[in-house]
Structure 1
Amino acid sequence: MRKTCIVHLFNSNRVQSLAPIRAQEVRKVMEKVSKSSFESKPFNLSDAMISLAGTIVCRMAFHKGSYEEVGEEGSRVQGLINETQAMFTSFFFSNHFPLLGVKHEHDDVLDVLVRTMNDGSSRFRLTVDHVKAIVMNLFIAGTDTAAAALVWTMTYLMKNPTAMEKAQEEVRQVVGRDKGFVDEQDVKQLPYLKAVVKETMRLQPPAPLLIRESNEDCILGGYTIPPKTVVHVNVYAIGRDREIWGDDSEEFRPERFMEKSVDDNKKGLDFDMVPFGGGRRMCPGMHMGLAIVHLTLANLLYGFDWGMPVGMERQDLDMEVILGLTMHKKNALCLMARKYV
């Protein structure tokens, strides 16, 4: 199943083919922020990021449009995602593995899976149930993790105005004022912005627990772990380990990733930080997820200056979470936007 996903759905060509769709949907978000800025109203980033990620997943999975365009059906899809997450947490948490997805510009994910099922190109017999399971994972992981990462990143930047200023200065110098939009070629020239995302994922990984199963006897901390043991890897604790990150491990300091190279190519070989897992079981949709996060964040920082709603200060921003497979911010992040370009 994993090899089928990597070969047919998550390869680099498919990730790149989705670039126009990512850009289209991010532009729509920017238009919504502009409208709220013009009306001097707070903008709900939490809702916007869920809608953005969900729309991209809809388009790559089914060629459907945004949640708004499909109306009640879109709301029902998001409700099913939330319900399924709750069921995973309660009953079959050990079956969870983070899948994100990608699509070719002409063939959506469903097209590719059905074709693979019918032509027999898979090494095993792909069934309708397999197809449904892959699409379900696509929606659950593809929507929630990217949205959570974006909201937490903006929250940490609002809490740390120096880092916010530095990230905005970088993207605005690289892109220039006249261009009006950050594209994915520009993102390649934004090392500090990428460091901000890494630092956020270190402190607040969207999926704080990775679930694995041992396949042979091993000894860990003096304990013998037999085969077929379900292992919960605490990604949250690894990211805050003082032995790895130093005495300032609880502080938000993106500069640490400018000083220390931590798996810059995200190959899953550096276990100091594992928000996408590592080794052969690491998240196959990692590049797709990062593409969404980097492009969206770059444009939010490029196009607008961000402030707190009237009557609120930065210190009023809470860091409470909703418990689940994906750790969302408990209270919606609502900010005031002032248009820059």
Structure 2
Amino acid sequence: MNYTSCSYLFFTLVTIFLLHRLFSSSSRRGLPPGPRGLPVLGHMHLLRSSLPRSLQALAHTYGPLMTIRIGSLRVLVVSDSDTAKLILKTHDPDFASKFVFGPRQFNVYKGSEFFNAPYGSYWRFMKKLCMTKLFAGYQLDRFVDIREEETLALLSTLVERSRNGEACDLGLEFTALTTKILSKMVMGKRCRQNSNIPKEIRKIVSDIMACATRFGFMELFGPLRDLDLFGNGKKLRSSIWRYDELVEKILKEYENDKSNEEEEKDKDIVDILLDTYNDPKAELRLTMNQIKFFILELFMASLDTTSAALQWTMTELINHPDIFAKIRDEIKSVVGTTNRLIKESDLQKLPYLQAAIKETLRLHPVGPLLRRESNTDMKINGYDVKSGTKIFINAYGIMRDPTTYKDPDKFMPERFLVVEQDTERKMGYYQQYMLELKGQDVNYLAFGSGRRGCLGASHASLVLSLTIGSLVQCFNWTVKGDEDKIKIKLPTGFSASGTAGGSSLMCSPELCFDPFGYQTK
């Protein structure tokens, strides 16, 4: 390369750098503070594999509201409960949209999303449908038989493994459990006719989520985001089309078998969605793509998170045998001398079990980073927040804040345990617990908060409590290998998936209470 070429290249690079600094400084006026970024990369060099932990560390230097740039994506990061309250409570309607990052162009249902839809007429219609029909209290009560049936099926598998002296991967068992429960809730009729449907759904959804996680930082936030250099977008689109083919067949079978005399109590989620689709008086007419994508969103949102929460809870209980023993003693005090397996109706009488699950979700939230987007211009903490501003609320950091929680990194269920004197107050504690899971307390954001809080919090709590309670009641657990404890890994990003002991949780169950023979050792 000659002298002229080198000079031209140097001049070009300097010009790009100065223009970047100029526009970056101009666009940052009025924004909260943040670290100095690099051209193109932004602050990616400061973010480690554990994004929530990295943002928590940066907040110690730059404050509870700071500006971070990940490639081309600029976000405000909220790291304290007071600021979170302003966004999730005080100004909830103004921050009721969620921003979507990543290569959306590969989603064949683009524009049909509900979970990540802008705050508008479609989102409000679907939220109302969820609250009044799909996930209403009476609907969850109707699914109690499904949850208890699949829990018994899991216990049957584990009893056989115990008698054969075999270890098991609890991660895989939990994924199968949550898939079967959700499949029967969503499309129970087809599952009764074809028992392979949950497996097919799980395989396709797993493929879709695996394709999505293969995108790197540069593909999500950098200059490569509009390209498909590595073919991940093509694989993602192909997996979604496989899902579309399967669910299209299922929906047609529902339509062909539909009976006007069908009772309300026999309807599953697909039935309700199709009734709404065919209702000429509905407030908003659903499209078939919206129904298909809503079902896919249910599976993607539930399978990963519920399975991860189950893994985390068992990890903490195995690592803390004293707490494990206290839960077992509490269960024995409730079932008494009848030697029966616990049921969902017992859960409100088990405050220590609930406290242990709540503490697990505090330490290991299924959604470590909550996403919001402002709908209007306003000021937060004295800083200008323009319409369209993207926001991360670091739930992981807020729930490990030492000013709120003593010894925040320790597993201490007692911090949530209220000593009650009578049954009525124990019932009150359970109701309080359910409200807190829905984000009523901004110091505790395990399932988010506000309008965009998790709609499945009540269902997830029931699955967690019944499953964990049953596994504690029926088995002792030992870790496969030479170590006595399971290693804890930090969350890597926006999901808790695969963080408990890696992608598997290999344990050996030792039967101490036979849920089928009702014999104890």
The reply to whether TM is greater than 0.5 is yes
2:197 and 2:290 map into 1 onto residues whose CA distance is: 25
Q: Could you tell me which of 367, 373, 390 is aligned with 1:230? A: 390
Q: Go from structure 1 to structure 2 and tell me whether the alpha carbon gap of 1:249 and 1:263 turns closer, same or farther (over 3 Å shift).
A: farther
2:206 maps to a residue whose letter is G
TM-score, normalised to structure 1, is: 0.88
Aligned residue number for residue 95 of structure 1: none
> What is the 5 A alignment of 1:330-341?
330-341=502-513
The structural deviation recorded for 1:72 is 6.2
For this pair of structures, how many residues does the alignment match? 327
Structure 2 segments unaligned to the other structure (5+ residues) = 1-125, 222-263, 420-428, 514-521
CA displacement 1:239-275 (0-9 Å, x = unmatched) = 10111112x0110000000149895232432101111
Aligned residue number for residue 183 of structure 2: 58
Q: Go from structure 1 to structure 2 and tell me whether the alpha carbon gap of 1:322 and 1:73 turns closer, same or farther (over 3 Å shift).
A: farther
Aligned residue number for residue 166 of structure 2: 41
Q: Go from structure 1 to structure 2 and tell me whether the alpha carbon gap of 1:153 and 1:177 turns closer, same or farther (over 3 Å shift).
A: farther
1:319 aligns with 2:488: yes
The structural deviation recorded for 1:205 is 0.4
TM-score, normalised to structure 2, is: 0.59
Partner SS, residue 305 of structure 1: strand
Q: Go from structure 1 to structure 2 and tell me whether the alpha carbon gap of 1:77 and 1:108 turns closer, same or farther (over 3 Å shift).
A: farther
Q: Go from structure 1 to structure 2 and tell me whether the alpha carbon gap of 1:49 and 1:72 turns closer, same or farther (over 3 Å shift).
A: closer
Aligned residue number for residue 448 of structure 2: 277
1:83 aligns with 2:210: yes
The structural deviation recorded for 1:129 is 1.8
Aligned residue number for residue 123 of structure 1: 283
2:198 and 2:397 map into 1 onto residues whose CA distance is: 40
Q: Go from structure 1 to structure 2 and tell me whether the alpha carbon gap of 1:224 and 1:151 turns closer, same or farther (over 3 Å shift).
A: same
Aligned residue number for residue 193 of structure 1: 353
Q: Whose RCO is larger (CA < 8 A, sep 6+)?
A: 1
1:237 maps to a residue whose letter is G
CA displacement 1:50-95 (0-9 Å, x = unmatched) = 1100111111112244997448624533433523653899759xxx
The structural deviation recorded for 1:8 is 2.1
> What is the 5 A alignment of 1:289-300?
289-300=460-471
1:83 and 1:121 map into 2 onto residues whose CA distance is: 40
Q: Is the 8 A contact 2:179 2:202 kept in 1?
A: no
Q: Go from structure 1 to structure 2 and tell me whether the alpha carbon gap of 1:72 and 1:298 turns closer, same or farther (over 3 Å shift).
A: closer
Q: Go from structure 1 to structure 2 and tell me whether the alpha carbon gap of 1:135 and 1:115 turns closer, same or farther (over 3 Å shift).
A: same
Q: Go from structure 1 to structure 2 and tell me whether the alpha carbon gap of 1:28 and 1:233 turns closer, same or farther (over 3 Å shift).
A: same
1:117 and 1:65 map into 2 onto residues whose CA distance is: 22
1:19 and 1:214 map into 2 onto residues whose CA distance is: 38
Q: Could you tell me which of 330, 336, 340 is aligned with 1:170? A: 330
1:40 and 1:203 map into 2 onto residues whose CA distance is: 32
Q: Is the 8 A contact 2:368 2:491 kept in 1?
A: no
1:83 maps to a residue whose letter is A
The structural deviation recorded for 1:227 is 2.0
1:216 and 1:87 map into 2 onto residues whose CA distance is: 34
The structural deviation recorded for 1:121 is 4.5
Structure 1 segments unaligned to the other structure (5+ residues) = 93-103
The structural deviation recorded for 1:213 is 1.6
Percent identity at matched positions? 30
2:213 maps to a residue whose letter is A
1:105 and 1:87 map into 2 onto residues whose CA distance is: 42
Q: Is the 8 A contact 1:320 1:331 kept in 2?
A: no
CA displacement 1:213-245 (0-9 Å, x = unmatched) = 222333334422112222111111111011111
The structural deviation recorded for 1:4 is 2.0
1:219 maps to a residue whose letter is K
The root-mean-square deviation of aligned C-alpha atoms, in Å, is 2.6
Partner SS, residue 477 of structure 2: strand
2:329 maps to a residue whose letter is E
Q: Go from structure 1 to structure 2 and tell me whether the alpha carbon gap of 1:284 and 1:331 turns closer, same or farther (over 3 Å shift).
A: closer
The structural deviation recorded for 1:49 is 0.4
Q: Could you tell me which of 346, 362, 366 is aligned with 1:202? A: 362
1:71 and 1:217 map into 2 onto residues whose CA distance is: 45
Aligned residue number for residue 411 of structure 2: 252
Q: Is the 8 A contact 1:306 1:336 kept in 2?
A: yes
Q: Is the 8 A contact 1:209 1:235 kept in 2?
A: yes
1:338 and 1:244 map into 2 onto residues whose CA distance is: 38
The structural deviation recorded for 1:339 is 1.1
Aligned residue number for residue 270 of structure 2: 110
1:87 and 1:308 map into 2 onto residues whose CA distance is: 30
Q: Go from structure 1 to structure 2 and tell me whether the alpha carbon gap of 1:331 and 1:136 turns closer, same or farther (over 3 Å shift).
A: closer
1:74 and 1:137 map into 2 onto residues whose CA distance is: 12
Aligned residue number for residue 214 of structure 1: 374
1:44 maps to a residue whose letter is D
2:488 and 2:204 map into 1 onto residues whose CA distance is: 27
Q: Is the 8 A contact 1:58 1:65 kept in 2?
A: yes
1:214 maps to a residue whose letter is S
2:340 maps to a residue whose letter is G
1:286 aligns with 2:444: no
Larger radius of gyration between Structure 1 and Structure 2: 2
Partner SS, residue 507 of structure 2: strand
Q: Go from structure 1 to structure 2 and tell me whether the alpha carbon gap of 1:324 and 1:240 turns closer, same or farther (over 3 Å shift).
A: closer
The structural deviation recorded for 1:5 is 2.1
- Of the structure 1 ranges 131-140 and 172-181, higher mean CA displacement relative to structure 2 is found in 172-181
1:71 and 1:24 map into 2 onto residues whose CA distance is: 15
